Amino acid sequence: MRAFFGVELPGHLADPIADVQATFDGVEGLRFVDPEQTHVTLKFLGEIGDGGDGDDQTEPALDDVIAAGERAVEAAGVDPFECTVEGLGVFPRLDYISVVWTGIDEGSAELTGLHEALEAETMALGVDPEDHEFTPHVTLARMNDARGKELVQRVVRERDPEIGRFTVEDVSLVTSTLTADGPEYETVASLPLG
């Protein structure tokens, strides 16, 4: 099963996120993330085993991943903290867009510390390290093709939305199942901070 460690956004931010997504209405080639399922990915793990007999022995087992997450949260030494969600950006760059996101201002240092601790612990399980610099963000949409690129560029340059704030109290281990309607997420473990 595909999995990642992340911070799930609370329900009160779903409407403000949907409002920001609406500024991209009519853009061809964009697939929007369900505002109810938004999150900050701290560490993408790829495939992990669920502990069943048919598991690929090269994949880290669920119990080992949870234990690594617990060690990482403890090593990071981060107490519950406030996050602000604001602004717009894209990956990898404005002239070639694959992801449209909103950023994290307050709280980014704590999220980065958690990411670094998770990276160290999961690498010890054989999970590949990230091949790019960690940027705390919430994915709003994925761009399938460049038909609407100019409109996305304009909105990202001109808008600086303030979406809201929330308290981060735990890190979640989430499984992701890819469907025709987009990914479906299920939280399988919650690791409290502090």
Active site residue 39: yes
Place of tokens 């939280």: 187
Q: Is 132 considered catalytic here?
A: no
| Annotated catalytic residue, options 12, 115, 132, 137 | 137
Set 12, 39, 115, 132: catalytic member: 39
- 81-93 and 96-104 strand pairing: antiparallel
Q: Which residues are catalytic?
A: 39, 137
